[in-house]
Amino acid sequence: MLNAALAGKFYTQVVKARLLAALLLVMPPVFAQSGAVLFQQNCSFCHGENGQGRAGAFPPLAGHAPNVIATPEGRAYLIQVLLFGLQGEIKVRGQKYNGVMAAFGQLSNEQVAAILNHVLTAWGNDKLLAKDHKPITAAEVAAVRIAKLTPQEVAARRSRLKLE
Ligand code: HEC
């Protein structure tokens, strides 16, 4: 009796360990698609690990991205910056930037959405979002991708947002 019970317990442990091993095998690709990892791989070099940017060179995204999306065309604009790049003078909290950001159009719609959703919710940005904020979807990115823009045209869209 006791032996059978012990064997049963042992069997359960083995099954659990196997399930965990199987899960770990599936995990890495899923994790690699996470917005945090994609941000780290593609954006943090310039915008900083914590989205803090560098004054005069790379605009901050922390404490700023929610202000962009709060404008009527800000949602599409954020997607356009990633898909088509940005070149032209912009002002973020009174500080001028006149650099170039390359396009990240090679990323999938899902990846672009994941990165932007990370940017909009990390570093306390989630607290600055509108109550009715909805995450950016891959379908939205796909729709914006159709109308190709140059980095200069994206800058023109930026000036329409009237952000200072
Ligand atoms: C090589 C440096 C570099 C990398 C990498 C980079 N950016 Fe940028 N980013 C910039 C610069 C420079 C600007 C400002 C361009 C200008 O002055 O016109 C900018 C502007 C932006 C803006 C517009 C801010 C505003 O107020 O209009 C957003 C949003 C943004 N970047 C997000 C990202 C995200 C997300 C990634 C990763 C996918 C990324 N950037 C990767 C350099 C970079």
Task: Answer whether 63 contacts ligand 1 (Cβ < 6 A).
Answer: no
What's the confidence (pLDDT) of residue 30?
53
Residues 6+ apart with CB under 8 A from 101: 46, 81, 85, 86, 87, 151
Distance (Å) of CA 135 to CA 94, 102, 114, 163: 28, 24, 9, 21
Mutate which of 34, 44, 47 to test ligand 1's pocket (most atoms within 8 Å of Cβ)?
A: 47
Is the per-residue pLDDT at 20 higher than 70?
A: no
Mutate which of 81, 90, 154 to test ligand 1's pocket (most atoms within 8 Å of Cβ)?
A: 81
Is the per-residue pLDDT at 3 higher than 70?
A: no
Task: Answer whether 79 contacts ligand 1 (Cβ < 6 A).
Answer: no
Query: Do residues 125 and 66 touch, judged by C-beta distance below 8 A?
Result: yes
pLDDT digits (tens, 9 = 90+) for 65-119: 999 999 999 999 999 999 999 999 999 999 999 999 999 999 999 999 999 999 9
**In this structure, what are the phi and psi dihedrals at residue 91, rounded to the nearest 5 degrees?**
-125, 130
Class of residue 114 by CB neighbours under 10 A (exposed 0-12, middle 13-18, buried 19+): buried
Closest residue by CA, ligand 1 atom 29:
78
Cα gap 112→135, rounded to integer Å:
12
Cα gap 85→152, rounded to integer Å:
8
**In this structure, what are the phi and psi dihedrals at residue 90, rounded to the nearest 5 degrees?**
-130, 160
Cα gap 109→87, rounded to integer Å:
22
Is the per-residue pLDDT at 151 higher than 80?
A: yes
Task: Calculate ∠ Cα 125-127-130, nearest 5°.
Answer: 100
Tokens of 101: 């950001």
Closest residue by CA, ligand 1 atom 22:
81
**Confidence bin at 29 (pLDDT 50/70/90):** low
C-alpha 91: how far from its chain's center?
21
56-67: average pLDDT = 98
The amino acid occupying position 98 is: N
pLDDT digits (tens, 9 = 90+) for 113-149: 999 999 999 999 999 999 999 999 999 999 999 999 9
DSSP 23: H
CA nearest neighbour of 126 among 62, 33, 68: 62
